[in-house]
Amino acid sequence: MYKALVCCRAGMGSSMLLKIKADQVIKENSLPIRTEHGSLDSLIAFDGDLVITLDSLADELYNKVPYIVSISSVLDKEEMKEKFSSYINWAEAR
């Protein structure tokens, strides 16, 4: 099971919606990912495997977290499925 932090700057609106949608995709596709929700401040204590965030924040996080799943549209479940699956393939190949 992979541990993911879903975050945005403040940890309020956009990341909460992203977490809800991500959890739907994970459940619908039986993906081995467990999510938690937070703000950028949550990264300090985060000891998980990947960070899920929106494109607007992803560039700032490269090289600061183990792996970033950057989502362009909170409503695009197919994009999420594709990117989560890519992460799982990458992690299993390591």
- Give pLDDT tens digits for 49-71: 999 999 988 888 888 888 999 99
Residue 12 has pLDDT above 90, yes or no: no
Domain 2-93 has CATH 3.30.70.3280: no
Q: Hey, what long-range contacts does 26-33 have (CB within 8 A, 24 or more apart)?
A: 26/84, 28/77, 29/81, 29/84, 29/85, 31/81, 31/84, 31/85, 31/88, 32/1, 32/2, 32/88, 33/1, 33/2, 33/3, 33/4, 33/84, 33/87, 33/88
What predicted TM-score, i.e. pTM, was given to this entire model?
0.92
* Domain residue ranges of the chain, discontinuous segments joined by +: 2-93
Question: Hey, what amino acid is at 28?
Answer: E
- Give pLDDT tens digits for 78-90: 999 999 999 999 9
Q: Which two tokens stand for residue 19?
A: 């977490």
